[in-house]
Amino acid sequence: MVAHGRQRERTALRERLPALFAELGAMPVAVDETAEVVATFLDGIGLSLAAGADAAVVRSAFDAFWLALIAAGQSGRRP
């Protein structure tokens, strides 16, 4: 049951990420790999919050993660 749910989440990420990055003017390296990284990161922040991590620290990590993804996509753009 959990594995099926995780697969649906990854499929949704693969479908949505290209449009999201296009809106931000970035091109991720590979959609499948980016979807796996995003899903794993979201799992990690969920577990951190469940374990009692400070929400402000988790939010800072979330912001830094997205900025890093956008910056990585910017470096892949062609003029």
Mean pLDDT by 10 residues, the chain (79 residues): 75 86 76 86 94 96 89 63
Dist CA 24 CA 61 (whole Å):
19
Helix axes 2-23, 31-50, angle to 10 degrees: 120
pLDDT at 33: 84
pLDDT at 62: 93
Q: Residue 1: what pLDDT?
A: 56
Q: How many domains does the chain have?
A: 1
pLDDT at 44: 94
| Cut 0.85: pTM above it | no
Instruction: Give residue 60's domain range.
Output: 2-75
